[in-house]
Amino acid sequence: MRWLELDGVVNGRDVGGLALAEGGAVAPGRLLRSDNLQDLSEADVDRLVEDLRLRTVIDLRTGAERRLEGPTPLDRDGRVEVLHLSVHPETGGQTDVDAETVLPGWGEAGMADEPDEHPVVRSYLGYLQHRPDAVVAAVRAIAGTDGAVLVHCAAGKDRTGVVVALALDAAGVDREAVVADYLATAERIEAIIDRLASTPTYAGEVRSQDPRSHAPRPGTMERVLELLDERHGGAAGWLRAHGLTEDELAALRARLG
Protein backbone atom coordinates (compact mmCIF):
# COMPACT_ATOMS: atom_id res chain seq x y z
CA MET A 1 0.00 0.00 0.00
CA ARG A 2 1.14 3.53 -0.80
CA TRP A 3 0.43 5.06 2.62
CA LEU A 4 0.22 8.84 2.87
CA GLU A 5 2.25 9.79 5.90
CA LEU A 6 0.53 13.02 6.94
CA ASP A 7 0.35 14.71 10.33
CA GLY A 8 -3.44 14.89 10.38
CA VAL A 9 -4.70 11.52 9.12
CA VAL A 10 -3.89 7.93 10.01
CA ASN A 11 -5.63 6.01 7.21
CA GLY A 12 -4.50 7.91 4.14
CA ARG A 13 -3.26 6.13 1.04
CA ASP A 14 -2.83 6.42 -2.71
CA VAL A 15 -4.44 3.53 -4.60
CA GLY A 16 -1.81 3.90 -7.31
CA GLY A 17 0.02 0.65 -7.98
CA LEU A 18 -2.97 -1.66 -7.64
CA ALA A 19 -2.89 -4.31 -10.37
CA LEU A 20 -5.22 -4.02 -13.35
CA ALA A 21 -6.98 -7.20 -14.45
CA GLU A 22 -5.60 -6.94 -17.99
CA GLY A 23 -2.07 -5.99 -16.97
CA GLY A 24 -0.40 -2.85 -15.72
CA ALA A 25 -1.33 -0.93 -12.62
CA VAL A 26 -3.39 2.01 -11.43
CA ALA A 27 -1.58 5.27 -12.06
CA PRO A 28 -0.32 6.95 -8.87
CA GLY A 29 -1.44 10.40 -7.85
CA ARG A 30 -4.96 10.05 -9.26
CA LEU A 31 -7.11 8.57 -6.47
CA LEU A 32 -6.39 9.05 -2.78
CA ARG A 33 -8.46 7.90 0.20
CA SER A 34 -8.38 8.73 3.89
CA ASP A 35 -10.11 9.16 7.19
CA ASN A 36 -11.39 12.51 8.46
CA LEU A 37 -9.44 15.59 7.32
CA GLN A 38 -10.17 17.80 10.34
CA ASP A 39 -6.62 17.65 11.71
CA LEU A 40 -4.58 18.34 8.58
CA SER A 41 -1.61 20.58 9.29
CA GLU A 42 -0.53 23.45 7.04
CA ALA A 43 2.30 21.22 5.82
CA ASP A 44 -0.22 18.46 5.02
CA VAL A 45 -2.37 20.85 3.00
CA ASP A 46 0.59 22.15 1.05
CA ARG A 47 1.83 18.63 0.35
CA LEU A 48 -1.58 17.51 -0.87
CA VAL A 49 -2.22 20.56 -3.03
CA GLU A 50 1.26 21.42 -4.26
CA ASP A 51 3.06 18.06 -4.36
CA LEU A 52 0.21 15.63 -5.01
CA ARG A 53 -1.86 18.06 -7.12
CA LEU A 54 -5.03 17.48 -5.13
CA ARG A 55 -7.89 19.21 -6.93
CA THR A 56 -11.09 17.59 -5.59
CA VAL A 57 -12.14 16.26 -2.18
CA ILE A 58 -15.18 13.98 -1.95
CA ASP A 59 -16.53 14.21 1.60
CA LEU A 60 -18.93 11.32 2.24
CA ARG A 61 -19.84 12.34 5.77
CA THR A 62 -23.36 13.32 6.75
CA GLY A 63 -24.46 16.90 7.22
CA ALA A 64 -24.61 16.19 10.96
CA GLU A 65 -20.96 15.18 11.00
CA ARG A 66 -19.90 18.28 9.12
CA ARG A 67 -21.87 20.55 11.45
CA LEU A 68 -20.45 18.88 14.54
CA GLU A 69 -16.85 18.82 13.32
CA GLY A 70 -16.81 22.16 11.50
CA PRO A 71 -14.94 22.94 8.26
CA THR A 72 -11.73 21.10 7.43
CA PRO A 73 -8.52 22.94 6.52
CA LEU A 74 -9.19 22.06 2.88
CA ASP A 75 -12.69 23.57 3.08
CA ARG A 76 -11.02 26.81 4.18
CA ASP A 77 -8.06 26.63 1.79
CA GLY A 78 -9.87 27.59 -1.40
CA ARG A 79 -7.52 25.82 -3.81
CA VAL A 80 -9.49 22.56 -3.77
CA GLU A 81 -13.11 21.84 -4.71
CA VAL A 82 -14.89 20.02 -1.88
CA LEU A 83 -17.96 17.95 -2.78
CA HIS A 84 -20.28 16.96 0.07
CA LEU A 85 -21.88 13.68 -1.00
CA SER A 86 -23.32 11.78 1.94
CA VAL A 87 -24.11 8.16 1.12
CA HIS A 88 -26.17 7.86 4.28
CA PRO A 89 -29.81 9.00 4.48
CA GLU A 90 -29.76 12.31 6.33
CA THR A 91 -31.49 11.68 9.65
CA GLY A 92 -30.14 14.77 11.38
CA GLY A 93 -28.08 13.00 14.01
CA GLN A 94 -26.53 9.86 12.60
CA THR A 95 -22.79 9.99 12.00
CA ASP A 96 -22.40 6.51 10.44
CA VAL A 97 -18.82 6.21 11.62
CA ASP A 98 -19.04 2.42 11.50
CA ALA A 99 -21.39 0.48 9.24
CA GLU A 100 -22.15 -2.27 11.73
CA THR A 101 -22.44 -0.33 14.97
CA VAL A 102 -24.84 2.21 13.48
CA LEU A 103 -27.24 -0.23 11.86
CA PRO A 104 -29.97 0.20 14.50
CA GLY A 105 -30.03 3.92 13.75
CA TRP A 106 -30.58 3.43 10.06
CA GLY A 107 -34.02 1.88 10.34
CA GLU A 108 -35.71 0.69 7.18
CA ALA A 109 -34.71 3.86 5.34
CA GLY A 110 -31.06 2.93 5.25
CA MET A 111 -30.92 -0.83 4.97
CA ALA A 112 -31.11 -2.83 1.77
CA ASP A 113 -33.77 -5.53 1.91
CA GLU A 114 -31.34 -8.45 2.05
CA PRO A 115 -32.25 -10.48 5.16
CA ASP A 116 -29.87 -13.35 4.36
CA GLU A 117 -26.78 -11.14 4.02
CA HIS A 118 -24.35 -10.07 6.74
CA PRO A 119 -25.40 -6.76 8.33
CA VAL A 120 -22.37 -4.91 6.95
CA VAL A 121 -23.08 -6.19 3.44
CA ARG A 122 -26.67 -5.03 3.89
CA SER A 123 -25.42 -1.66 5.06
CA TYR A 124 -23.15 -1.26 2.03
CA LEU A 125 -25.97 -2.24 -0.30
CA GLY A 126 -28.07 0.35 1.49
CA TYR A 127 -25.70 3.08 0.30
CA LEU A 128 -26.29 1.95 -3.27
CA GLN A 129 -30.03 1.50 -2.87
CA HIS A 130 -30.83 4.73 -1.08
CA ARG A 131 -28.11 7.15 -2.23
CA PRO A 132 -27.17 6.12 -5.78
CA ASP A 133 -27.06 9.81 -6.71
CA ALA A 134 -24.21 10.45 -4.28
CA VAL A 135 -22.27 7.32 -5.27
CA VAL A 136 -22.52 8.11 -9.00
CA ALA A 137 -21.59 11.75 -8.41
CA ALA A 138 -18.50 10.64 -6.50
CA VAL A 139 -17.37 8.27 -9.26
CA ARG A 140 -18.11 10.95 -11.86
CA ALA A 141 -15.81 13.34 -9.99
CA ILE A 142 -13.07 10.70 -9.82
CA ALA A 143 -13.36 10.24 -13.58
CA GLY A 144 -13.50 13.91 -14.46
CA THR A 145 -10.98 15.68 -12.24
CA ASP A 146 -7.71 16.94 -13.72
CA GLY A 147 -5.40 16.12 -10.85
CA ALA A 148 -5.79 14.01 -7.74
CA VAL A 149 -9.11 13.22 -6.05
CA LEU A 150 -9.31 12.35 -2.36
CA VAL A 151 -12.30 10.38 -1.03
CA HIS A 152 -12.90 10.37 2.72
CA CYS A 153 -15.46 9.83 5.45
CA ALA A 154 -14.79 9.53 9.21
CA ALA A 155 -12.72 6.35 9.42
CA GLY A 156 -12.00 5.93 5.71
CA LYS A 157 -13.32 2.38 5.92
CA ASP A 158 -17.00 1.79 5.10
CA ARG A 159 -18.37 4.66 3.03
CA THR A 160 -15.00 5.42 1.49
CA GLY A 161 -14.41 1.71 1.01
CA VAL A 162 -17.59 1.23 -1.01
CA VAL A 163 -17.12 4.25 -3.27
CA VAL A 164 -13.46 3.49 -3.94
CA ALA A 165 -14.16 -0.21 -4.56
CA LEU A 166 -16.86 0.61 -7.12
CA ALA A 167 -14.57 3.04 -8.92
CA LEU A 168 -11.68 0.57 -8.96
CA ASP A 169 -13.83 -2.34 -10.10
CA ALA A 170 -15.42 -0.26 -12.87
CA ALA A 171 -11.97 0.88 -13.97
CA GLY A 172 -10.79 -2.71 -14.47
CA VAL A 173 -8.70 -3.22 -11.35
CA ASP A 174 -8.03 -6.85 -10.46
CA ARG A 175 -10.69 -8.04 -8.01
CA GLU A 176 -8.15 -9.34 -5.48
CA ALA A 177 -6.43 -5.95 -5.54
CA VAL A 178 -9.74 -4.15 -4.95
CA VAL A 179 -10.40 -6.35 -1.92
CA ALA A 180 -6.84 -5.93 -0.62
CA ASP A 181 -7.21 -2.17 -0.73
CA TYR A 182 -10.46 -2.39 1.25
CA LEU A 183 -8.88 -4.67 3.86
CA ALA A 184 -5.74 -2.53 4.25
CA THR A 185 -7.58 -0.29 6.70
CA ALA A 186 -7.22 -3.11 9.26
CA GLU A 187 -3.52 -2.26 9.47
CA ARG A 188 -4.35 1.14 10.95
CA ILE A 189 -7.56 0.36 12.84
CA GLU A 190 -6.24 1.02 16.37
CA ALA A 191 -4.94 4.45 15.36
CA ILE A 192 -8.21 5.20 13.53
CA ILE A 193 -10.35 4.36 16.56
CA ASP A 194 -8.05 6.25 18.93
CA ARG A 195 -8.39 9.31 16.74
CA LEU A 196 -12.17 9.08 16.48
CA ALA A 197 -12.50 8.48 20.23
CA SER A 198 -10.73 11.79 20.89
CA THR A 199 -13.65 13.84 19.53
CA PRO A 200 -17.16 14.10 21.04
CA THR A 201 -18.68 13.58 17.59
CA TYR A 202 -17.59 9.94 17.41
CA ALA A 203 -16.45 8.91 20.89
CA GLY A 204 -19.76 7.40 21.93
CA GLU A 205 -19.87 5.14 18.88
CA VAL A 206 -16.36 3.72 19.14
CA ARG A 207 -15.41 3.54 22.83
CA SER A 208 -17.75 0.68 23.73
CA GLN A 209 -15.96 -1.97 21.65
CA ASP A 210 -12.49 -3.39 21.12
CA PRO A 211 -10.87 -1.40 18.29
CA ARG A 212 -10.24 -4.60 16.34
CA SER A 213 -13.98 -5.22 16.17
CA HIS A 214 -14.21 -2.21 13.84
CA ALA A 215 -11.72 -3.66 11.34
CA PRO A 216 -12.98 -4.56 7.85
CA ARG A 217 -13.91 -8.22 7.61
CA PRO A 218 -12.64 -10.57 4.90
CA GLY A 219 -15.48 -11.61 2.65
CA THR A 220 -17.50 -8.41 2.96
CA MET A 221 -16.36 -6.52 -0.12
CA GLU A 222 -16.09 -9.75 -2.10
CA ARG A 223 -19.77 -10.38 -1.41
CA VAL A 224 -20.86 -6.86 -2.35
CA LEU A 225 -19.01 -7.08 -5.66
CA GLU A 226 -20.33 -10.60 -6.26
CA LEU A 227 -23.89 -9.33 -5.87
CA LEU A 228 -23.18 -6.49 -8.30
CA ASP A 229 -21.81 -9.07 -10.75
CA GLU A 230 -24.94 -11.19 -10.44
CA ARG A 231 -27.46 -8.37 -10.70
CA HIS A 232 -25.79 -5.68 -12.82
CA GLY A 233 -22.83 -7.22 -14.60
CA GLY A 234 -20.41 -5.64 -12.14
CA ALA A 235 -19.82 -2.18 -10.71
CA ALA A 236 -19.68 -0.68 -14.20
CA GLY A 237 -23.13 -2.08 -14.95
CA TRP A 238 -24.56 -0.66 -11.73
CA LEU A 239 -23.05 2.75 -12.49
CA ARG A 240 -24.46 2.70 -16.03
CA ALA A 241 -27.90 1.82 -14.70
CA HIS A 242 -27.76 4.83 -12.40
CA GLY A 243 -26.64 7.44 -14.88
CA LEU A 244 -22.90 7.18 -15.51
CA THR A 245 -22.32 7.42 -19.25
CA GLU A 246 -20.06 5.30 -21.43
CA ASP A 247 -17.83 8.35 -21.96
CA GLU A 248 -17.53 8.82 -18.21
CA LEU A 249 -16.68 5.14 -17.70
CA ALA A 250 -14.04 5.41 -20.42
CA ALA A 251 -12.64 8.51 -18.68
CA LEU A 252 -12.53 6.62 -15.38
CA ARG A 253 -10.58 3.78 -16.97
CA ALA A 254 -8.22 6.22 -18.69
CA ARG A 255 -7.51 8.11 -15.47
CA LEU A 256 -6.91 5.08 -13.28
CA GLY A 257 -5.44 2.75 -15.89
Q: Would the pLDDT of 102 be above 50?
A: no
| pLDDT for the residue 99 | 65
pLDDT band at 88, cuts 50/70/90? confident
Does residue 19 register a pLDDT over 80?
A: yes
| Average pLDDT over every residue of 32-53 | 97
Confidence class of residue 106 from pLDDT cuts 50, 70 and 90?
A: very low
Mean pLDDT for 162-188 is 98
Pairing between β-strand 54-59 and β-strand 81-84 as defined by DSSP bridges: parallel
Check residues 94 and 54 and name the one with the higher pLDDT: 54
Which of 207, 188, 236, 222 has the alpha carbon at shortest distance from 97?
207
- How many Å apart are CA 84 and CA 17, to the nearest integer? 27
Distance CA 36, CA 163 (A): 15
Q: pLDDT value at position 178?
A: 98
pTM of the model: 0.93
**pLDDT score of 104:** 37
Query: Average pLDDT of 158-184?
Result: 98
